[in-house]
Amino acid sequence: MNRDEDFLPEELAALSVPDLLQKGNQAAQEENYSDALIHYDRALDQQPDCEEAWYERGMALGAIDRLEPALISFDRALELNPYYTEAWIGRGKVQKQKSKYKAAIASFDQALEIEPDNALAWLEKGKLAELMNRYKEALTHYNKAVNCDPDLTEAWSDRAKTLWFLNRREEALASYKQLTLLNPQDAAAWSQQGNALYWLNHYEEAAECYDQSLALKSDADVWGSRGTALKKVAHYDEAIASYDHALKLRPDDSNLWHGRGLTLRSMERYEGAIANFDKALSLKPDFYAASRSKLFTLVKTRQLRKYLFSKNLIDREKASRDLQNVLSTAIKTKVPGAIVIALTTFFSLGGFYGFYSVTFLVGMATRLTAISVAMIFLLISYMGEWIEEGRK
């Protein structure tokens, strides 16, 4: 804190403590924390026992990750007023940022001992429990928060995310709906509700929520989600228009090009679909899903043989890239599982013990059986992907 009044602006030196706090809070709301701290420090120069100034100073310092000075400020506020609920909550938040979880819980509990119905304290306890992977406990705290303050949108949002993680999808959707009821101007809340509806297979309702979100704020991700939802209900032209909007905002997004290609394929515009898959792969050469979609389209249009054995150098490079993507993905995701299955089968049939104790032919049969089971696993795995691709 600067105590040399010769360096203070004249208008600042003339302000009272309440005025300094007001201006500091205004600067903090505008995220101008350096100015906010100047005002809080000046207030404390005038009145060192001003608990509110110490609290606001702690909040501003915490916002810019100056955690140790923030903790000192909260402690000073609590020395002046041990029943300062907000200071206990602020202290707990800083302790959480410093990964001092037990101390943070103690601070939040102290706030709740003073004020049992403090929704913000319950909210912060929920966030901390979630951070510690205690999701059911987090949900209990979020429930307390929304019961204490039904208008606390952040608690409804965190409650919805936790319910979704716990696979309680319908309840999560209800929380997202509550969010949009509380704040119809929240574009993110509408898009989150749309995402929940999409995963519950309510595609038209999801698209309507994305429309609400986009009316408030144009966003590439939401345009892409809208395109995916509309494709699911065969509104292909609208889906393409959505992807086009998204790509205007983010032209280098490989996932958007892939989604647009899938929509064109559903419209039986195969050449356009392949061109979109190629665009996605030009942006992300190891994009396995795009390679798979392209190869499936080539099989569907009976062009795969021509593509793989093309004499055109560019086509040969593309084919090599697509096959490399298939092979590398198999090595990373499928072959390890096949090896485990093969070894399990091998040892369950006697393994090395059986190989040395029985005839050579029986030992060979054991190994061939293990290999065959692994190959069947690989075949089923690829068939599953092929069926999934066909559904797209």
Tally of residues, the chain: 392
Residues 6+ apart with CB under 8 A from 148: 117, 118, 119, 122
Can you tell me the distance from the alpha carbon of 305 to that of 211, in angstroms, rounded to the nearest whole number?
A: 43
pLDDT per residue as tens digits for the range 212-269: 999 999 999 999 999 999 999 999 999 999 999 999 999 999 999 999 999 999 999 9
Residue 2 zone, left/alpha/beta (φ > 0; ψ -120 to 50; rest): beta
Residue 347: what residue type?
F
Q: Are 375 and 345 in contact (CB under 8 A)?
A: no
Residue 188, Cβ density class (10 Å: 0-12 exposed, 13-18 middle, ≥19 buried): middle
Judge whether 203 lies within some domain: yes
Judge whether 317 lies within some domain: no
Judge whether 140 lies within some domain: no
Share of the chain above pLDDT 70, in %: 80
3-state helix, strand, coil in the chain (%, to 5): 80, 0, 20
Judge whether 210 lies within some domain: yes
Residue 360: the pLDDT is 45
- The domain in which residue 212 lies consists of 184-251
Can you tell me the distance from the alpha carbon of 131 to that of 16, in angstroms, rounded to the nearest whole number?
A: 41
Can you tell me the distance from the alpha carbon of 13 to that of 41, in angstroms, rounded to the nearest whole number?
A: 12
Q: Are 223 and 190 in contact (CB under 8 A)?
A: no
Maximum CA extent, the chain: 102
pLDDT per residue as tens digits for the range 263-321: 999 999 999 999 999 999 999 999 999 998 998 899 889 998 898 888 888 888 888 88
pLDDT tens, the chain, 392 aa long: 544 444 455 566 678 888 999 999 999 999 999 999 999 999 999 999 999 999 999 999 999 999 999 999 999 999 999 999 999 999 999 999 999 999 999 999 999 999 999 999 999 999 999 999 999 999 999 999 999 999 999 999 999 999 999 999 999 999 999 999 999 999 999 999 999 999 999 999 999 999 999 999 999 999 999 999 999 999 999 999 999 999 999 999 999 999 999 999 999 999 999 999 999 999 999 999 999 899 889 988 999 889 888 888 888 888 888 888 887 776 666 545 545 454 454 445 555 444 444 454 444 555 555 455 445 544 555 555 555 656 66
Judge whether 193 lies within some domain: yes
Judge whether 19 lies within some domain: no
Eight-state DSSP code of residue 250: -
Judge whether 245 lies within some domain: yes
- Sign of the CA dihedral 190, 195, 197, 203? positive
Judge whether 11 lies within some domain: no
Can you tell me the distance from the alpha carbon of 325 to that of 236, in angstroms, rounded to the nearest whole number?
A: 29
Residue 316: the pLDDT is 87
Number of domains in the chain: 1
Residue 328: the pLDDT is 76
Cα distances (angstroms) measured from residue 267 to each of 72, 220, 297, 345: 64, 23, 12, 45
CATH number at residue 226: 1.25.40.10
